[in-house]
Amino acid sequence: MDKFTRLTAIAAPLNVANVDTDKIIPARFLKTIKRTGLGKSLFADMRYNEDGTEKPDFVLNQEKYRKAEILVAGDNFGCGSSREHAPWALLDFGIRCVIAPSFADIFFNNSFKNGILPIVLPPEQVAKLMDDAALGTNARLTVDLACQMVVRPNGEEIPFDVDPFRKYCLLNGLDDIGLTLAHESAIATYEAKIPAWQPKLR
């Protein structure tokens, strides 16, 4: 998993509440267990017409947001069914951070495990960032995880909370497998002591 330390990037405004996981990545695209290739299907029903052509009004189809790495979203983002493909699709598109007034719990947890930083801020602060994002490439946001700060284009700093353990994992690029491998030498030492007749752990 890639580390998340400090990100300065274009932010796309998605001022829609209750964007569920089926809107993020529709069920028909869940046939793969690969984490790559899902970005083109991100928000597919919102992003494309039935004939596959782009809907020009959708934010990520606008030229200034095609390389957005931050998404400023509405309340209750990621609600609906548990779907790990949702953060996979966001990440494959290039989104590393989602800022919203609230998130669904499962999506929130899955995001951290896949290298995406979800930030919860009060609605009035999200509204400011939504206005900033509306400026497109003329205004970039900075998300500093170490300092737990979102910096607006005008220099205003907005602090955010994050669980210390999740912060540690993101800063060091550690997913569940990475956390386990950090103890690989201790695991190997333990396994070396296991009698030959006893099954190995791996």
Phi first, then psi: what are they for 19, rounded to 5°? Answer: -75, 110
Q: What is the DSSP string of 93-126?
A: HT--EEEES-B-HHHHHHHHHTT-EEEE--HHHH
Q: Which CATH class is domain 6-174?
A: alpha beta
Tokens of 88: 């996979």
C-alpha closest to that of 97 among 10, 173, 1: 10
How do the pLDDT tens digits run along the chain, 202 residues long?
999 999 999 999 999 999 999 999 999 998 887 778 999 999 999 999 999 999 999 999 999 999 999 999 999 999 998 889 999 999 999 999 999 999 999 999 999 999 999 999 999 999 999 999 999 988 899 999 999 999 999 999 999 999 999 999 999 999 766 666 665 676 666 666 777 777 665 5
Predicted pLDDT at 53: 97
> Do 24 and 44 touch, CB atoms closer than 8 A?
no
Predicted pLDDT at 33: 77
| Domain boundary assignment for the chain | 6-174
Residue 192 and residue 30: Cα distance in Å, rounded?
41
